[in-house]
Amino acid sequence: MRFRVIEGLSEPRGPLIEIAIPAYNEEHVLAASVRRLHTYLIETFPYRFVITIVDNASTDRTWEVAERLSLELPEVEAVHLERKGRGRALRHVWGTSEADVVAYMDVDLSTDLDAFLPLVAPLVSGHSDLAIGSRLSRGSAVVRGPRREIISRAYNLLLHTTLAARFSDAQCGFKAGRAEVVRALLPAVEDQAWFFDTELLLLAEKNGLRIHEVPVDWIDDPDSRVDVFHTALDDLRGMARMGRRLLSGALRVPVPSRPERLPAGMRSQVPSFAVIGVVSTVAQLILYALLRLLLPVILANVVSYFLAAIANTAANRRFTFGVIGKRRAVRHQLEGGVAFLVGLAVSTGGLAALHALSPRAPRLAEVAALLGLNLFAAVIRFVLLRAWVFHPRRVAVLEEQTR
């Protein structure tokens, strides 16, 4: 077991976040960085967390410092590996993690820690699958030399042009992912070093997963141990390998879906409402076209909309929200009529605006405008019907009052 019982922690505050810190010969900066990160998370972070230091076969006192920190700080763990490689370190920690969200940061903490909560929040909510800090997106603030700036932009440009990547910054040392998604991707990731996270992102993107980007403030570490030339060569080899896999169709990975975010019942209600809405919209358009032969544009819209509203509310009452019988039917029609009045105001106002701007607008333009306005009004109607007219608790209260 890599996790131990942590004494003295407050009650659980939601999901557990594990932050891996790969370290190779970093005894000079490791203690200060981990203490700074630990203090920041204790004071500002709303979720439970574990910081895991991963010693990548260091030849200095890095492992001693890591062990001391793990004994000193209850939320800090330390792992020692016999072989080097950032990818190997992340694979080891992420692949065995018991956390809900896994992340990593470079040991120098070049990225401003204020970006960490925005990084993990979309993963906790289930909105996204992976999240990356980006030094190349609008809103980021970066301080680094021209050589590394040119190399970084050229590398990401190559990814975009050769592998059709859509994420903006592949190599920023500030990333996170939903643990179940990361575990599903790891067996398909071959690289053990610096190309590891680029490969992970490419696999995620090609399998339809959602990648969230956070603009970051980033200051280059002048004492970085990265061999830029050899890292660049390894990255080019990794890109060539991913290109071959892409052409052969070998990038498909079975990945879990995002957590269900629709409120209870909406999965069945939305399709039913949409089908009824399409049918009633088509019926209204046909009725409107017929009435338009006899009535002015506004009156034809009001009459057709009113008749479609009655049929629409009755159908949604029975099939979308499952209310059976005549009890409260009149009340539901009246309240549903309020929802339709909102839609009527939208469609009528839109048609009036169309004729004010173009008095001689053709009938086809009228019908097209009416279709678009009705689609917008449908969203408003669904919200009102679900949250007010046919809200389950409200329906239950009304039923209880009539007994």
CATH no. for residue 158? 3.90.550.10
Enumerate the β-bridge partners of residue 130: 177, 211
Burial of residue 341 (CB within 10 Å: 0-12, 13-18, 19+) is middle
Domain assignment present for 74? yes
Domain assignment present for 329? yes
Contact 181, 99 (CB under 8 A): no
Structure tokens, 304: 């057709």
Same domain, residue pair 148 and 274? no
pLDDT at 73: 95
Same domain, residue pair 270 and 239? no
Cα–Cα distance, 161 to 240 (Å, whole number): 13
Cα–Cα distance, 398 to 403 (Å, whole number): 9
Cα–Cα distance, 177 to 274 (Å, whole number): 34
Expressed in angstroms, the distance from the first to the final Cα of the chain is 58
Domain assignment present for 365? yes
pLDDT at 5: 37
- Range of lowest pLDDT (120-134, 135-149, 167-181, 386-400): 386-400
Provide the mean pLDDT of the chain: 84
Cα Rg of the chain, angstroms: 29
- Average pLDDT in the 166-190 region? 93
Domain assignment present for 189? yes
Same domain, residue pair 107 and 229? yes
Residue identified by tokens 């490791």 is 30
- Range of lowest pLDDT (89-98, 196-205, 284-293): 284-293
CA angle, corner 194, sides to 25 and 75, nearest 5?
55
Domain assignment present for 276? yes
Same domain, residue pair 187 and 317? no
pLDDT at 227: 62
Residue 395 vs residue 126, higher pLDDT: 126
pLDDT above 70: residue 228: no
- Range of lowest pLDDT (121-130, 302-311, 313-322, 389-398): 389-398
Same domain, residue pair 185 and 49? yes
Range among 23-32, 224-233, 240-249 rated most confident: 23-32
pLDDT at 88: 95
Residue 174 vs residue 271, higher pLDDT: 174
Number of domains composing the chain: 2
Same domain, residue pair 68 and 178? yes
pLDDT at 302: 82
pLDDT at 392: 59
Residue 4 vs residue 130, higher pLDDT: 130
Burial of residue 271 (CB within 10 Å: 0-12, 13-18, 19+) is exposed
Range among 105-114, 135-144, 289-298, 389-398 rated most confident: 105-114
pLDDT at 71: 96
Last residue of a domain, one of 248, 278, 307: 248
What proportion of the chain, given as a percentage, has pLDDT over 70?
87
Domain assignment present for 23? yes
Task: With H, G, I as helix, E, B as strand and everything else as coil, classify residue 75.
Answer: coil
Residue 319 vs residue 366, higher pLDDT: 319
pLDDT above 80: residue 375: no
Same domain, residue pair 233 and 335? no
Cα–Cα distance, 182 to 93 (Å, whole number): 11
Same domain, residue pair 368 and 241? no
pLDDT at 304: 87
Same domain, residue pair 231 and 341? no
Q: What residue numbers bound the domain in which 216 lies?
A: 16-248
pLDDT at 36: 97
Domain assignment present for 373? yes
CA angle, corner 322, sides to 320 and 325, nearest 5?
130
Same domain, residue pair 244 and 281? no
Enumerate the β-bridge partners of residue 211: 130
Cα–Cα distance, 255 to 272 (Å, whole number): 29
pLDDT above 70: residue 2: no
Same domain, residue pair 197 and 56? yes
Same domain, residue pair 214 and 289? no
pLDDT tens column, 303-320: 887 888 888 888 888 888
DSSP code string of 116-180 = HHHHHHHHHHTS-SEEEEESSSTT-EEE--HHHHHHHHHHHHHHHHHH----S-S--SEEEEEHH
Domain assignment present for 3? no
